[in-house]
Amino acid sequence: MGWWDWLRGKKDPATEGTTPALEKGLQKSRQSFWSRLRTLFATRSAIDAGSREEIEELLLSADVGPTVTEKILQGLEKELKELPLREGETLADRLEKVLLPLIQKPFSPPDGHPYVILLVGVNGVGKTTTLARLAYRLQQEGKKVLMGAADTFRAAAVEQLRRWSDKLHIPLVEKGMGADPGAVAFETVQKAIKEEYDIVLIDTAGRLHTRTPLMQELGKVYRVIGKALPGAPHEVLLVIDATTGQNALRQAEAFMQATACTGLVLTKLDGTAKGGIAFALVEQTGLPIRFIGIGEQAEDLLPFSAEGFVRGLLA
Ligand SMILES: Nc1nc2c(ncn2[C@@H]2O[C@H](COP(=O)(O)OP(=O)(O)OP(=O)(O)O)[C@@H](O)[C@H]2O)c(=O)[nH]1
Ligand SMILES: [Mg+2]
């Protein structure tokens, strides 16, 4: 069993369905748009030309994107063809069934000990926060966790991690501002091997996806980790701020070219009405969403559950 199975294990109600916290986190998206879609569907038993256009507009306004919008419409039409609505049933009841496969990606974690996770993304998306929340969670699970401060770009970045390290009593490898991020990553992994840590979380500096030298530096950090431990990093989590809209797709494209990303973390879903970007991201990248951020508190990072997410949107 992989690392993430137990993290996503039964203890988390989000894996079973939606939760009050998740519903609250998705409130803006649900209210502005999914509930309108639901209302629109509540009275309809078929999709005609007029409603098709209306649905299309709604989906596009939620950043679902043209490809997924078409897939949703075709999915609904196929549903209806195969199994016409029964008495009392509405299109809304079928929506969940159509949405689920569009956001669900299989995930089987590779074996790795220590298990190394690298966090990447543009500036301010929530990498360090996500790292600290993950570290805390893993520590609660009884895992021996080590953090690496490979964001050596800003003095405040190392400081931010050091505060977390003190607060959570989780050791941190740091070499101060201006140090070579690759060297920090290498040392962190080496220490983890030597001292038998279970899991290593490495922070990186935020970087604009259009800045080629910075993106190349990320590739270097990635390769250096692999030299310290063949097969590592086992996870490269691309952190994306859900409020950035369509730009998120361009970020994803650039980061996937620079490193072998294995999963997505979608943060700040609580701050956007356009949670539909989640569908567009999964469609474009083919990557599973691994975690979602729905607030500023420590417990506001949830292991992603497609069922929970879709139900939270439609609740
Ligand atoms: N509302 C909300 N805020 C979040 C969430 N995740 C992170 N934040 C906030 O986003 C801000 C930036 O978070 P950081 O973790 O410092 O982001 P970062 O990607 O490490 O930033 P850089 O290192 O500067 O690139 C902080 O104020 C976090 O509290 C979330 O899910 N919801
Ligand atoms: Mg940071």
User: Which pLDDT does position 4 carry in this prediction?
Assistant: 60
The residue-averaged pLDDT of 288-301 equals: 91
Residue having the nearest C-alpha atom to atom 30 of ligand 1: 268
Atom of ligand 1 nearest to the CA of 207: 25
Would the pLDDT of 115 be above 90?
A: yes
Report the mean per-residue pLDDT for the chain.
90
Cα–Cα distance for residue pair 221/275, rounded to 1 Å: 31
Prediction pTM value: 0.94
Residue having the nearest C-alpha atom to atom 13 of ligand 1: 126
Structure-block tokens of residue 225: 């980790």
Would the pLDDT of 20 be above 90?
A: no
pLDDT tier, 89 (very low <50, low <70, confident <90, very high otherwise): confident
User: Which of 13-22, 86-95, 125-134 shows the highest mean pLDDT?
Assistant: 125-134
The residue-averaged pLDDT of 124-153 equals: 94
pLDDT tier, 148 (very low <50, low <70, confident <90, very high otherwise): very high
Of the listed ligands, the closest to the CA of 206 is: 1
Binding site membership of 293 for ligand 1 (Cβ less than 6 Å)? yes
Task: Render pLDDT for 22-60 as a digit per residue (tens, 0 to 9).
Answer: 889 999 999 888 888 888 887 777 888 888 898 899 899
Would the pLDDT of 7 be above 70?
A: no
Cβ–Cβ under 8 Å, residues 302 and 15: no
Binding site membership of 117 for ligand 1 (Cβ less than 6 Å)? no
Would the pLDDT of 185 be above 70?
A: yes
Cα–Cα distance for residue pair 28/200, rounded to 1 Å: 34
Binding site membership of 272 for ligand 1 (Cβ less than 6 Å)? no
Binding site membership of 25 for ligand 1 (Cβ less than 6 Å)? no
Helices (H), the chain: 3-7, 20-25, 27-29, 35-42, 49-61, 66-82, 91-103, 127-140, 155-168, 181-194, 212-228, 247-258, 277-285, 306-314
User: Which pLDDT does position 90 carry in this prediction?
Assistant: 81
Task: Render pLDDT for 236-263 as a digit per residue (tens, 0 to 9).
Answer: 999 999 999 899 999 999 999 999 999 9
User: Which pLDDT does position 85 carry in this prediction?
Assistant: 83
Binding site membership of 258 for ligand 1 (Cβ less than 6 Å)? no
User: Which pLDDT does position 13 carry in this prediction?
Assistant: 47
Task: Render pLDDT for 199-238 as a digit per residue (tens, 0 to 9).
Answer: 999 999 999 989 999 999 999 999 999 999 999 999 999 9
Binding site membership of 124 for ligand 1 (Cβ less than 6 Å)? yes
CB atoms near residue 167 (< 10 Å): 10
Binding site membership of 296 for ligand 1 (Cβ less than 6 Å)? yes
Binding site membership of 159 for ligand 1 (Cβ less than 6 Å)? no
Please state whether the peptide bond connecting residue 66 to the residue before it is cis, i.e. omega within 30 degrees of 0.
Answer: no
Residue having the nearest C-alpha atom to atom 26 of ligand 1: 126
Ligand 2 ion: residues within 5 Å (CB): 127-128
Angle among Cα 177, 178, 183 to the nearest 5 degrees reads 100
The residue-averaged pLDDT of 142-166 equals: 94
Of 129, 160, 269, best ligand 1 pocket probe by most atoms within 8 Å of the beta carbon: 129
Cα–Cα distance for residue pair 136/129, rounded to 1 Å: 11
The residue-averaged pLDDT of 129-139 equals: 94
